[in-house]
Amino acid sequence: MFTAKDSGMPFIKSITILGILLASLSQTSGAELRRLEESEFGKTADGAVVKLFTLRNSKGMSVKVMTYGATITEIMAPDRHGVITNVLLGADKFDDYRKGFPSSASVIGRVANRIAKARFTLDGVEYKLAANNGANHIHGGNKGFAQVIWDAQALPPGPHESAVRFSYLSKDGEEGYPGNLNVHVTYTLTDKNELRLDYEATTDKATPINLTNHAYFNLAGSGDCLDHELLIPADRYTPADADLIPTGGFATVKGTPLDFTTPTRIGARIDQLKPQLNGYDHNFVLKNESKSLVLAARANDPKSGRVMEVHTTQPGVQLYTGNHVQHRGLCLETQHYPDSVHQPSFPSTILRPGEAFKQTTTFTFSAK
């Protein structure tokens, strides 16, 4: 178990399912499980209140999400012995996020990942963006969606789930993007230990959009993720240059360190990516012609027995192994491909007036 002093990451808590149940009983005095709770988490530098929502299910699992960046701060999930541990890199205090927490599980937008040369042309008009990744643009800009306060609405709990809906209006010209974009992200925790993220958006002017969540998972609850076994059922990826800008083509994963078509230890071939990269940071092409929920990845920690399955309607998933935080977390960012706005062979990321952007990703936790 690591501490903030040891690793730069917050202390990860472990408690038993019995403890969770007793806590729930004490909160409700024997009444129904309190599936949804709202509290104040802190304040921004300009005094805006940041709210924190706690979702709980009947299996002892809980998820915390705050209005700053619509960010997940904690996911408590059981191992094979029923021990509940936080499997997400997060912080206990809002000040850590305000000061630049290095591994926030925030919503990324308008456009996740990279846009080459920090500019694009749409309908004959060139739009210039922040060059915040060398000469390129990444994750929506200097502030993006990850550092703004979202409106939040707690939805009425159902018999087997609880949910909170976050909303944000990205105004025309924000971070250089065109159009007033209305965005909604709904987090739902079910009694099947499934966390579902439903993304929706509309615009009054054509604009690129590519939303994801940049969660860093560690199914062991401590240490690094290199001993996790990973399955990604994708036989192709999008090759990229030294700046991680796609070349526009596709390549097979067969015979490369990117082949996770059978469960493989993450650290088994990671050294083959050096010195160019300190780990994985690659976009995989999912087999999802129907645009329905398909398996994007399955990760498991052999020691604890925890398993996480990721399903998505998106065409791709970016594997990032927390290279800047000593591989302490594993990111599986469901998304459209990087730099799609410049690549006609990639699925389009352009949303136009009258259209609705809708994508869903689920993270389901179990143990074996």
Q: What contacts 331, CB < 8 A, 6 or more positions away?
A: 214, 215, 216, 217, 318, 319, 320, 321, 322
Distance CA 206, CA 220 (A): 43
Please, what sign has the CA dihedral across residues 363, 366, 367, 368? negative
Q: Are 360 and 197 within 8 A, CB to CB?
A: yes
- Within the chain, residue ranges assigned H as helices are 4-7, 17-28, 94-98
Instruction: Give bridge partners of residue 358 from the DSSP assignment.
Output: 200
Distance CA 218, CA 61 (A): 16
Parallel, antiparallel or unpaired: strands 264-265 and 281-285: unpaired
- The radius of gyration of the chain's CA atoms, rounded to the nearest angstrom, is 20
Residue 127 structure tokens: 């739009």
SS3 at position 221: coil
The residues annotated with a catalytic role in the active site are: 214, 333
Degrees (nearest 5) of the Cα angle 139, 140, 141?
100
Distance CA 233, CA 350 (A): 27
Q: Which of 102, 106, 77, 74 lies closest to 90 in space, CA to CA?
A: 74
Q: Which of 144, 67, 136, 135 lies closest to 111 in space, CA to CA?
A: 144
